[in-house]
Structure 1
Amino acid sequence: MTQTERFQDLPLEEVIGDRFGRYSKYIIQDRALPDARDGLKPVQRRILYAMYKEGNTNDKAFRKSAKTVGNVIGNYHPHGDTSVYEAMVRLSQDWKIRHMLVEMHGNNGSMDGDSPAAMRYTEARLSAIAGELLRDIDKRTVEFIPNFDDSDMEPTVLPASFPNLLVNGSTGISAGYATDIPPHALHEVLDAVLMRMDKPNATVDELMTVIHGPDFPTGGIIQGVDGIKKAYETGRGKIVVRSKADVEPLKGGKEQIVITEIPFEVNKANMIKKIDDHRFDRKLEGISEVRDESDRTGLRIVIELKKDVDANGILNYLYKNTDLQVSYNFNMVAIYKRRPTMMTLQSMLDAYIDHRKEIVTKRSEYDLQKAKDRMHIVDGLMKALSILDKVIKTIRASKDKRDAKNNLISSFEFSEAQAEAIVSLQLYRLTNTDITELQNEAASLKKTIDELTGILTSATKLKNVIKKELSAVRKQFAEPRRSVIEEKIQEITITREVMIPSEDVIVTVTKEGYVKRTSPRSHAASNGQGFAMKDSDHLLYEGNLNTQNTILLFTSNGNFVYQPVNELPDIKWKDLGQHLSSIVQLEPNESILSVYPFENFDADASILTVSKQGMVKRSALQDYHVQRYSRTIKTMNLKKGDSMIFAGLVTDETELFIATNQAYGVRFPLDEVPITGLRTAGVKGVNLKDNDFAVSAIMLDAEEKQELVLVTNRGAAKKMKLQEFETGGRAKRGVVMLRELKANPHRVVAVVGTSGRGEEILIETAKGVRLTLAVNNLKPVDRYSNGSFVLDEGTDGTPVTVYRLEKKE
């Protein structure tokens, strides 16, 4: 007979929705989420029950883990052996579980994330406290259901003599639900249960007088009582867990940070690597070495610091940027009445209390039935002993055991159970003393029956039994709290000074954009000679600075570069520096105009900038202190075709002098330039003729004696006194600085301000000729003079750039 294929035409979304719904229900109820009553996931419950049933308990020897895993898979949990073994190992890890439920011999992993040894190498047994979870399971206290192949029975929940869900916590991800319940101190949880039993409407505030908050197996410091309270009230809340760290002094003025406790579920090895990466990547300069000195006596991580470094500042940086401090988010979801439920502290305690009431009630019913059955037997034996001779005679006259029992029942009105006990009685028991023993047993049984009946009929007695048992567990297993709780979450502020050790360096910047910092040792070894630089380049800035300083580099495109000194490349004096474009991206035609160093940006000063089209602007120094500096930042909003020709730091200067290409000079007070934001264009500084443009700007201090050196495109130079130019207003044409020639007139290349203290002027021509001119060799002349030739335009080329070289002390 051929089998015909059957097709069902169903919408895909219905099929997938139905299948995924069933799968999700299974994952939620029977895999990833713990039960609110015993705090266990199914795989954990099955492991504990399998070990208990096989006699692998705390009072017996250890047994191979593989044997237990095989037993769990074969009888209760038809899944992969790896998942079962991993669950079993977790129950034995004292840094993951507050009170271990499994004791293990052998390598069961580590805080560094190391894998445990294979199950064939390790041995395990139930811990003493796990025995409390299983106590009375054989007294019909919990519901048993058939296992996956109906060959055995397994419990749906464990009796749980202590509230395991709160004590050991839980974590898991299912379909649409996740849970994160932190572990707590056993004695605090039991005190909360007792309080809730005495006062069923106890508030979270009242409960928190005994249960102060989570207690992680790894210790640490918990911050944020408000977050704990919110979690207990709603099921969700956030706390901060930070490592326990102490600062210890070392010889030679150094210090080290010693960490002895780390946050819960943080991988120690990864955390140490991350700390060391901050040192290696030079994000944190103050650390010289990171060592893991942990051994079997306890955890110890040592962070050795460089000399004169603020240890608390380094610690704050590490709290903020590594797993030395983490956030923990409560998400207290558990299976309650077969449904995933967001649990509050009260609902967790109530779920457990209700469970215990049910367990103790069922246990009492079981014990009561046992006591009554035994009482019935004892009554029969006592009656038999009182008529012993008749009983013996009846038994001797019987054909067999069954006949003897029937005769006893019909002759003396014994029950079936009593008759069975009498015919099974051994002869040595038939002594005169046994009647007293039976009478004592009867009295004891009567007392037990009365007690159990009282428990079953009185809610108060039931409550007292539960409280007494919880107190016994508390007395036996309570441990001191490991985590410290602090009320507020500490705000972490990090200053750059903390991250960067104070170190003196020499910073150099060349005109072509090569920057570096050099150690004083490298500078001294070269005796300050042989500075590496291209032949066409010259030194724009050299200064003795500190690694905690910052330099601002101003460019011709109206930008500035914010450059912390510690982030400059550390290069020897005799080696070429690194080009600025490899640190920040520059435009192809962008060049450096000036460099200024700063310890901080608090001074009451401003930055003045001047453009080729005669625009002038000022911005407050504080505006130049930026947080993000991976690219150039706008300092002057230039029009198309314009460029910046000058940037200067205004401190005591009171006036500005601007020189133009067609030999006009204008001098005006700086007060006429208002202070504006960084991205503004500024105001007009000079009124330019057509085809004219500004070439130089000089800030003047009226009280100082200053002179101006002018260089023309024909190679002439002259020195003028500042008094030649009167102070006028902003945006004027200015006065003429050269005598106008009809044929081949002089045009101004640059005007440089000098103080007459032995400076030199560097003139560079289009042909690459460089001439150093001592200012003192020039005699002052008036405004209308065209000066004297210092270069031959024909042979040396046209001067294109002019710089003042300050004489070093």
Structure 2
Amino acid sequence: MSKNLNKINEYIENIVNESLEDVVSERFARYSKYIIQDRALPDARDGLKPVQRRILYAMNELGMNYNKPYKKSARIAGEVMGKYHPHGDSSIYDAMVRMSQDFKMLLPLIDMHGNNGSIDGDSAAAMRYTEARLSLPSEYLLKDIDKKTVPFVPNFDDEELEPTVLPAKFPNLLVNGSKGISAGYATNIPPHNLGEVINATIALIDDDEISDSKLISYIKGPDFPTGGIVQGRNGIKQALKTGSGKIIIRAKTHTEEIAKNQERIIITEIPYEINKSDLVRSIDLLRIDKKIDDILEIRDETDQEGLRIAIDLKKGADSNFILNYLFKQSDLQVAYNYNITAILNRRPYQVGVKPLLKAYIDHQKEVITNRSNYELRRAEKRLHIVLGLIKMVSVLEEIIKIIRGSKNKADSKENIMNRFQFTDLQAEAIVTLQLYRLSNTDVLALENESDELNIKIARLNEILSNENVLKDVIKEELLETKDKINVKRKTVIEDEIENIKIDERDLISDENVIIGITKDGYVKRSSVRSYQASQTIGLKNDDGLIFKKEVSNLDTLLIFTNLGNYIYLPVFKIDEQRWRDLGVHLGNIVPINNERVIKVISISKFEDNINLLLATKKGNMKQTKLIDFQVSRYSKAIRAMRLAKGDELVSVDINQKENIISVTKNGFVLRFKASDLPEYGTTAGGVMGISLTDDELVESFYSFSEDSFVMLSVRGHIIKDTVSEIAVYTRNRKGVRVIEQLKSNPHSIVGAARLSKTQERENVSSFLVTTKQTIETTVSEYKYHYNKFGKKMFDEQTEQGYKIFIEDAIDEVPIVLKGLKSNTKKVEVKPLIEEQDLINNDKNKEKKIRISRLDLFDE
């Protein structure tokens, strides 16, 4: 091993003996520092990233001013890449293109001739096709760069010098904004109006201690090149103070009348950095997917006059509602998060407006100080020469003789300097002076120039020695810049963020559909036409319907399960299918765990004065107001009733009536007043409604005294009885037996339902659900039968009874009880046995007498 290492050492000069963690950590730290400072984040002073600064400087060096001819973009990219930016030409050209796009930059810094991309996301033409030059605003960023105002550093190969920052005669970072991502840092600064930013800068120059609130009062908010409406003054204030905040950007729209009762929505400005073609496509998809029905057509009518998107609406459509829906569901309204992060003092900081403007003002003080020193040196040098030339005029004849008598230029200079004590600089100016400058006029011009230079030097010395004068210069130049390149505000600022609430039902047309739900939990929504055209329904093996009804698209289904939960399912949320299709399992709509459907109720309107009756297998019951079941979030099953361990929800009924009928598996029936059962919320567990001994509750339902009721046995028999023949008890009793219990193969009850005279008169439909199928029949089949165990409906050898459902009568208006009193006229039928005759009231005896109604009759 050591021999191998020695051989390696012979070929490798420098081996670093460090751990991989230390090497990677140190290298990545250097890389991170590079991309943070020298690639992705802008400088707070000139608001530019290095590649942008290098492009502008290179174009300035090429003399490509705003009033000069265009030059090929490829030449510019080559110049930048060859001298200053050793990266790919595509990254340079992409930066050029962005700086030229008037929908990205509030003040474009490059004037590009040719296809430089579009707001639709089209890419720019290749750099060999486009031409470019500097724009007027970029001239103000570069102004005075030739006067040693900013520091220069060697380029990547030490053959050229490049500026580390531009002089920047306006706060470009806030005016044009910036966007970038680096290692651990990101920045997202929107553009702001130039005039407002300059006003704020001047206010800060005048008062170093100005409050944040007063300072940001000069800046109304972002001013996007695409216009639009910004909502959220508080978010703007927070962002301008802290560097972080959230605002809402909304498109600018208005409506036009197409015809009577028909409108068109016109969009003239869209949110910043939103792709227009994608926006149009997304709105059109809402129409195609039928998520909104009232849009006829959407067109992009943008032309040379400006952006315009037209949305034609159907007759009678509410344009305000549709617009609000589009704000909610499309990029017509977007959130924008401020993240003002920039490089200050060679380090990244997230700051508010005040530190940014302070950094800019300090930069301007340095720039003007450097410029003043440069101009002062030049003015003093020129004054020295002018004074020498003026002195020369008084001894002109003698100087001419000396020059004539000298051997050469150097001898002339030396002789003049020795004779008249001119400095080397003055002597150089004299010997190189052209003869025509010796006229009297030029002497006067020299004297005037001397006076002007003295004034200029005094002014420059005042700037350099008096900070107040320096501040005045900065303000003057800012006001001059504002006067030359300011543009009117494009974005409207609104104080409050409008909270848009959309009821999806308003998007749905009121159309009747057929809903089918099976005992295995499959649900389908079909058009009436599909239902009428289908001969058969699509079902799995051994499955059957437990609910079929024509309802409105605007209705809501409450689907109750045996685990005490309910599924809140708006009808329009169910996928439309053909009637012969299998349907969608409820588990694919909301997550449910091994739950089976026991009851489905369709609701058109959630009212406060309608009750539901819920009952469990162990006899617990409660009444709950219908309004309590209305929710706004329904992505999962919701609790309808709290259950004890081992208990299940077995029945749900709606529309309170005077009686509650409870039927047990062993054939006991209890009748008590609905007013005896208290009301509870959806999370409560209820109270004991019926006393059970080695038995379980099958069904509880509301009824009137004049109603009948039917029971389905496990052996497939329908047994009919009348409510009036069941004695009225208080709740929590065992009730009376109505079905004889056989020792072998008993007729255990599996389902029961109320049957009113109206239902019988209308001969409504009924579902007899078995373990193998659903038998769809009518209630005329449920007549009284001579057999005490009722009428046999199917073969008990192949299948067993599961549940019975009876359709509501059309003419039977749901009874809304006020308090607990019925509005319907009661038919008083005296029970065969009064409750007081059945109960031993002796308080000393706990045992109560229980009598079966069957004991009163012969078989």
Regarding TM over 0.5, the answer is yes
Quick check: 602-611 or 250-259, which moved more? 250-259
Match of 1:19 in 2: 27
Alpha-carbon distance, 1:747 to partner = 5.8
Deviations 1:220-240 (A, max 9, x none): 222222232233333333333
Match of 1:698 in 2: 701
Deviations 1:463-491 (A, max 9, x none): 32222221111111111111222222333
Match of 2:570 in 1: 564
Secondary structure of 1:171 counterpart: strand
Q: Does the aligned pair in 2 maintain the 1:259–1:301 contact within 8 Å? A: yes
Alpha-carbon distance, 1:188 to partner = 0.7
Match of 1:505 in 2: 512
**Equivalent residues in 2 for 1:296-695, closer than 5 Å:** 296-305=304-313, 308-498=316-506, 500-509=507-516, 511-512=518-519, 515-519=523-527, 526=532, 532=537, 541=547, 543-556=549-562, 558-571=564-577, 575-576=580-581, 578-581=583-586, 583-584=588-589, 592-636=597-641, 644-651=649-656, 653-678=657-682, 680-690=684-694, 692-695=695-698
Match of 2:709 in 1: 708
When residues 765 and 178 of structure 1 are mapped into structure 2, their CA distance, relative to the original with a 3 A threshold, is closer
**CA–CA distance in 1 between the matches of 2:368 and 2:765?**
101
Secondary structure of 1:433 counterpart: helix
Deviations 1:555-612 (A, max 9, x none): 455443322111223345x645624447447989865444322234343323223344
Quick check: 328-337 or 64-73, which moved more? 328-337
Quick check: 103-112 or 125-134, which moved more? 103-112
Unaligned runs of 5+ in 2: 1-8, 812-859
Match of 2:806 in 1: 804
Number of aligned pairs?
797
Match of 2:52 in 1: 44
**CA–CA distance in 2 between the matches of 1:136 and 1:470?**
14
Alpha-carbon distance, 1:346 to partner = 2.2
Aligned amino acid, residue 566 of structure 1? F
Alpha-carbon distance, 1:135 to partner = 0.9
Alpha-carbon distance, 1:529 to partner = 8.8
Quick check: 101-110 or 547-556, which moved more? 547-556
**CA–CA distance in 1 between the matches of 2:76 and 2:21?**
42
**CA–CA distance in 1 between the matches of 2:247 and 2:796?**
79
Q: 2:144 aligns with which of 136, 147, 171?
A: 136
Quick check: 305-314 or 488-497, which moved more? 305-314
Q: Does the aligned pair in 2 maintain the 1:765–1:799 contact within 8 Å? A: yes
Match of 2:85 in 1: 77
Alpha-carbon distance, 1:80 to partner = 2.0
Aligned amino acid, residue 373 of structure 1? K
Q: Report the TM-score, using the length of structure 1 for normalisation.
A: 0.88
Q: Does the aligned pair in 1 maintain the 2:100–2:111 contact within 8 Å? A: yes
**CA–CA distance in 1 between the matches of 2:118 and 2:667?**
80
Deviations 1:366-397 (A, max 9, x none): 22322232233333333333443333333222
**CA–CA distance in 1 between the matches of 2:319 and 2:252?**
14
**CA–CA distance in 2 between the matches of 1:323 and 1:61?**
40
**CA–CA distance in 1 between the matches of 2:383 and 2:523?**
100
Quick check: 376-385 or 481-490, which moved more? 376-385
When residues 447 and 612 of structure 1 are mapped into structure 2, their CA distance, relative to the original with a 3 A threshold, is closer
Quick check: 47-56 or 634-643, which moved more? 634-643
Match of 1:98 in 2: 106
Alpha-carbon distance, 1:274 to partner = 4.4
Quick check: 512-521 or 739-748, which moved more? 739-748
Alpha-carbon distance, 1:742 to partner = 8.6
1:53 aligns with 2:87: no
Q: Does the aligned pair in 1 maintain the 2:249–2:334 contact within 8 Å? A: yes
Q: Does the aligned pair in 1 maintain the 2:671–2:728 contact within 8 Å? A: yes
Aligned amino acid, residue 806 of structure 2? R
Alpha-carbon distance, 1:131 to partner = 0.6
**CA–CA distance in 1 between the matches of 2:527 and 2:167?**
71
Alpha-carbon distance, 1:667 to partner = 0.5
**CA–CA distance in 2 between the matches of 1:587 and 1:396?**
114
**CA–CA distance in 2 between the matches of 1:764 and 1:366?**
100
Match of 2:755 in 1: 754
**CA–CA distance in 2 between the matches of 1:713 and 1:368?**
111
Match of 2:816 in 1: none
**CA–CA distance in 2 between the matches of 1:625 and 1:214?**
42
**Equivalent residues in 2 for 1:139-288, closer than 5 Å:** 139-251=147-259, 253-279=261-287, 287=295
- Give the share of equivalent positions with the same residue, in percent: 43
When residues 208 and 643 of structure 1 are mapped into structure 2, their CA distance, relative to the original with a 3 A threshold, is closer
**CA–CA distance in 2 between the matches of 1:227 and 1:131?**
34
**CA–CA distance in 2 between the matches of 1:174 and 1:717?**
77
Alpha-carbon distance, 1:712 to partner = 6.0
1:107 aligns with 2:115: yes
**CA–CA distance in 2 between the matches of 1:486 and 1:765?**
64
**CA–CA distance in 1 between the matches of 2:452 and 2:591?**
97
**CA–CA distance in 1 between the matches of 2:344 and 2:374?**
26
**CA–CA distance in 2 between the matches of 1:259 and 1:351?**
40
Give the aligned CA root-mean-square deviation in angstroms. 3.7
**CA–CA distance in 2 between the matches of 1:434 and 1:765?**
122
1:726 aligns with 2:727: yes
Deviations 1:149-190 (A, max 9, x none): 221211122111111122112222233333233221111111
Q: Report the TM-score, using the length of structure 2 for normalisation.
A: 0.83
